Amino acid sequence: MPTTRRAIRESSPLHWGIRTMGVAAIAFIAIYLASTAKPSTLGNITEACTLAIAAVGLNLLFGFNGQISIGHSTFAGLAAFTAGYTVNAWEWNPYVSLVVGLILCFLLGLALGLPALRLKGPYLALVTLAVAFVWPTIAAKFLDQKVKASTLKGTKLEPLSWTGLSVKGKDARLDKAIFLYWAAIVILVVSYVIVRNLRKSRIGRALVAVRDNETAAAVMGVNLKLTKTVTFGISAAIAGASGWITAARLATMDETTFTILSSIKYLLALFLGGAATLVGPIVGAFAYFFVDDYLKEHAPEWDWLPGPLSKGPVASFLLGVLVIAFVFVAPFGIVGFVKDQVRKVFVIAPRPLRPAPSTAEQAMPTTEEPRPADQGPETQGRVDT
């Protein structure tokens, strides 16, 4: 280790200062955008947030617990359809529908977590893929039977009165966009905090232990069944929250709103940002969404592209190529890449361990685990907020 690298002590005033400034900068950008941006920009950010929420949920399951799921679009779809149906047909309060949707997603997640106990790796991937494949046919059936139409209306979420945003009038469109924007950000932050706190707690250590070696985790006393199914449930519920935002954002939904392609998008966002890091899925979702958006808008106009590439679905092709190229540049995602670069300048040194008891009589099992100096890609995001 070169001595020129600065070490920042974890939880030292400097470390806290950097973290506070990072959070403040993000909060400032969020407020600045809300007060200046156009409704379409806000809508884009809201959509990126829904992607980020789902990716955060998937990260808990795949990144930290090692269970891959290509079926998370189903949970988003279930919550979105629950909200759309209960609000429109039964005139429920949208927030009640959110809670009910989350509970349903949690239960479905638990149910899907049960076969996941027996299935490993690619088998689980393919079973969840099958679930995502089946969802549109069930959704279409539901629309046929219950709504008697090919689409389901969104929840038409209106700004709450205490926010001071207008429901009617000339600013209604902008104000609604602002409200949705904040709703999405609040849900994103809440999901992030849930996953972060889980990860940093005893449960999080159990999750990672199960991911790294199930047998060893079981031997150490981790309840495999409970851990894996409940993780699946929580992850599903977070994906459901993303679906609820989608239901509030869209005027109408149909069976094609949540397909396997959405699930693949969640996975890509997670991988591009950095799986098994806390902020990775959020960074990845925003990067993926805005690169995709930029390419869709501008790529068809690029004249310098050779022959056949100058027309047709060029944006989608370039995105695929970019994704492949990106993997070679940053195999552990954006966060992994940034951390590698930052580590060249300074390192975050762990807190010193509690001093050991002086005599043998006082020796108690220490509750604080020693933190390995270099946890590789698993290192928690501390400076990158």
Q: Please identify, using beta-carbon distances, which residue of 121 and 372 lies nearer to another protein.
A: 121
* Segment 155 to 184, residues that bind another protein, using CB under 8 A: none
Q: Please identify, using beta-carbon distances, which residue of 215 and 362 lies nearer to another protein.
A: 215
Q: Pick from 137, 197, 223, 366: which binds another protein (CB under 8 A)?
A: 137
Q: Residue 255's closest CA among 74, 49, 103, 46?
A: 74
Strand partners, 316: none
Neighbours of 231 (CB within 10 A): 26
316 binds another protein (CB under 8 A): yes
Q: Pick from 103, 172, 203, 323: which binds another protein (CB under 8 A)?
A: 323
Distance CA 208, CA 191 (A): 19
140 binds another protein (CB under 8 A): yes
Q: Pick from 5, 141, 202, 344: which binds another protein (CB under 8 A)?
A: 141
60 binds another protein (CB under 8 A): no
Q: Which stretch binds another protein (CB under 8 A): 38-46, 116-124, 172-180, 233-241?
A: 116-124
Task: Tell me the HSE value of 246 on the side-chain side, using a 13 A CA sphere.
Answer: 29
User: From the CB of 51, what's the least distance to another protein, in Å?
Assistant: 15
User: From the CB of 370, what's the least distance to another protein, in Å?
Assistant: 25
Q: Pick from 319, 334, 338, 348: which binds another protein (CB under 8 A)?
A: 319
297 binds another protein (CB under 8 A): no
Instruction: Give a three-class secondary structure readout of 149-200.
Output: CCCEECCCCCCCHHHCCCCCCCCHHHHHHHHHHHHHHHHHHHHHHHHHHHHH
Distance CA 334, CA 249 (A): 28
Tokens of 310: 């100058």
Could you identify the residue written with the tokens 């390995």? 372
Q: Residue 115's closest CA among 124, 105, 106?
A: 124
Which of helix, strand or coil describes residue 1?
Answer: coil
Q: Which stretch binds another protein (CB under 8 A): 101-109, 158-166, 269-277, 351-359?
A: 269-277
Q: Please identify, using beta-carbon distances, which residue of 234 and 268 lies nearer to another protein.
A: 268
115 binds another protein (CB under 8 A): yes
291 binds another protein (CB under 8 A): no
122 binds another protein (CB under 8 A): yes
| Residue pair 264/68 in contact by the 8 Å Cβ criterion | no
Measured torsion, CA atoms of residues 49, 328, 320, 76, in degrees rounded to the nearest 10: -30
Q: Please identify, using beta-carbon distances, which residue of 198 and 323 lies nearer to another protein.
A: 323
Distance CA 91, CA 202 (A): 41
First-to-final CA distance of the chain: 25
313 binds another protein (CB under 8 A): yes
Q: Which stretch binds another protein (CB under 8 A): 7-15, 131-139, 154-162, 225-233?
A: 131-139
Chain positions contacting another protein, by CB under 8 A: 115, 118-123, 125-127, 129-131, 133-134, 137-138, 140-141, 145, 215, 219, 260, 264, 267-268, 271-272, 275, 308-309, 311-314, 316-317, 319-324, 327-328, 331-332, 377
